Amino acid sequence: MDMIKAIFVDRDGTVNVDKGYVYKPEDFELIPGVIEALKKLTDQGILTYIVTNQSGIARGYYTEQQFDALTRYMLCVFEREAIKIEKVLYCPHHVNGTIPKYTKSCLCRKPGTKLIEKVMTENNFNIGEVVLVGDKNSDIEAGRRLNMKTYLVKTGYGKHEEASTKATFVTENLNSAVEHILKLG
């Protein structure tokens, strides 16, 4: 296996507690071990991308501006811990949306791969240099469609999806996934 250069990490249920359409800073709660995991990635020079479906925008539960405000808050929390996030990639679309601008089927909503493919192309990553970590089989399927190694974490929905997952690996949480990734290369 090639040396891991980048990791794509789901947000809700993997990085933060999935409380259902989290968009307010006061509702944003990190899952235990996430700071340690992301710090290890930063310290090892592994580029970290957060990739998240945000259908709450299409459904009218919150706006893109509210999502952006929460993203800035999250990044500030990470910066205080000397954690570097390369980019937060998100899909605001959903076929059952109520906001016409965002109501559609798209290729960027996981398990679609458009957001991840764009980063891989821009950075010339090959499949052996990247991994994906998430708590839903839709996350895992996005990685599988690109033939990358995938990790289902048992936080968020992961404990319910474990029995039916096709993930390469199943781990307790992001921190245990990162420890395994670092051992791989």
**Whole-number Å distance between alpha carbons of 149 and 134:** 12
For 104, other C-beta atoms within 10 Å of its C-beta total 12
Q: What is the pLDDT of residue 90?
A: 98
Q: Residue 48: how many CA atoms within 13 Å on its side-chain side?
A: 26
Q: What is the pLDDT of residue 1?
A: 47
Is 43 designated active site? no
State the Rg of the chain over Cα.
15
For 106, other C-beta atoms within 10 Å of its C-beta total 15
Amino acid sitting at position 148: M
Catalytic residue from among 12, 18, 135, 139: 12
Cα Dmax for the chain: 46
User: What number of residues does the chain have?
Assistant: 185
| Residues in the chain, pLDDT under 70 | 1-2, 185
Q: What is the pLDDT of residue 184?
A: 77
With vertex at residue 100, the alpha carbon angle to CA 94 and CA 105, rounded to the nearest 5 degrees, is: 30
Catalytic residue from among 10, 18, 135, 139: 10
What are the structural domains of the chain? 6-19+29-55+82-90+111-184 (3.40.50.1000)
Is 135 designated active site? no
Please give the structure tokens belonging to residue 140. Answer: 């895992």
Q: What is the pLDDT of residue 41?
A: 98
**Whole-number Å distance between alpha carbons of 168 and 18:** 23
**Whole-number Å distance between alpha carbons of 146 and 144:** 5
Q: What is the pLDDT of residue 16?
A: 98
Residue entry with tokens 């599988």? 144
Q: What is the pLDDT of residue 2?
A: 66
